[in-house]
Amino acid sequence: MPETTTQLGRLPLRPVDVSLIIPMYREARRIDATLRDCLPLLTVAGHTSEVVLVDDGSPDDTVEVVRRYLAQEPDGPLHSVRLVRHKRNLGKGAAVRTGLGSSTGDWRLIMDADNAATVRELPKLLERAGPGIGLVAGSRVAEGARVRAIPSRKLAGTCFKAALHAMGMNLLTDTQCGFKLYRADLAEQVVAVGVEDGYAFDLEHLLIARATGLGVAEVGIAWTHKEGGQVDPIADGLKMLRRAAALRRRRNDIAAAVRRLPRELTREMIRITDAPLVVTLPAPGSPAAPRADL
């Protein structure tokens, strides 16, 4: 795991069903609204939850915004909210690995800080998180997806997908959607084997999942484009394609690294494979739903 500063916030006091992991870089303008939307929902969910916020060396006030929110964190099933900080910017892939490694949940959800896909989509993923499934990926193109995106981003995504297909790396219909649910044992294997620090980390994680023999499922989700992101569709897209080519060359090495992992990282987790964890979150505006201004 990359070098981090001391974690801030409470550690879990009892077993956690779902960990929500939010990697952040220069998110001072957006993270407060995201936390005020998603964290109250988790307090009324039918499972225990923790939230791990990973700041990837932000030079702005992201950490201070989160600190202010931590000072008023809610009680209930959401019994742990923590901030983990990288001392310097390492990349989103590194932040995701730090979050996966710092979490304790049976299932660990990666969610973007812009709230483009909200925790209201979590039940859809949990419904597919049954025995033999190691990763459930939210998709903007799978059946049932509802997407609001600007044309330029749609075009960039289509070109990127076509390029992945041409090099034999089309591992999912939507590899780059930032809403993915990892089973705990796969998450630990990703932390042990993964090295991709940039935006191509999703492809590496999918290759690791394949090497473990665990299944990967896709679920169509609601996704809305949000302004203010750090990704340049052209420049970062070209970087990701170069890394995708490098990952294609490393496929056999990744599989060999998974086979060399200690037995405790590769065993089936019987406690969570007996049955999927299915929950229902209240719909916005319903009497049970928390107000956005809590």
Digit-coded pLDDT (tens) for 168-225: 888 898 998 999 999 999 999 999 999 999 989 999 999 999 999 999 999 999 999 8
Residue 90 lies in a domain: yes
Q: What is the pTM of this model?
A: 0.85
Tokens at residue 212, please?
Answer: 């473990």
State the residue for tokens 């609001």. 148
148 vs 25: CA distance, rounded Å: 23
Place of tokens 């999912």: 172
**How many whole angstroms separate alpha carbon 120 and alpha carbon 165?**
31
pLDDT confidence of residue 272: 40
- Give the number of domains in the chain: 1
Residue 59 lies in a domain: yes
In the prediction, which pLDDT does 274 show? 36
In a domain, 277, yes or no: no
Query: Is 145's pLDDT higher than 50?
Result: yes
| Inter-CA distances, 25 with 192, 224, 252, Å | 23, 19, 32
Tell whether 4 is covered by a domain: no
Give the containing element (helix H, strand E) for 251: helix 235-259
Hey, how many other C-beta atoms are within 10 angstroms of the C-beta on 165?
Answer: 10
* Cα–Cα distance measured from residue 195 to residue 73, given in angstroms and rounded to the nearest whole number: 33
Q: Is residue 154 part of a domain?
A: yes
Residue 153 lies in a domain: yes
What is the pLDDT at residue 271? 41
In a domain, 282, yes or no: no
We report the CATH number of the domain holding residue 210 as 3.90.550.10
Look up the domain containing 140 and give its range: 9-268
Residue with tokens 């897209």: 237
User: What is the chain's mean pLDDT, rounded?
Assistant: 83
Q: What is the pLDDT of residue 25?
A: 96
Give the strand pairing for 179-183 and 133-139: antiparallel
Strand order of the β-sheet with 215-220 is 8-9, 78-85, 49-55, 18-24, 107-111, 179-183, 133-139, 215-220
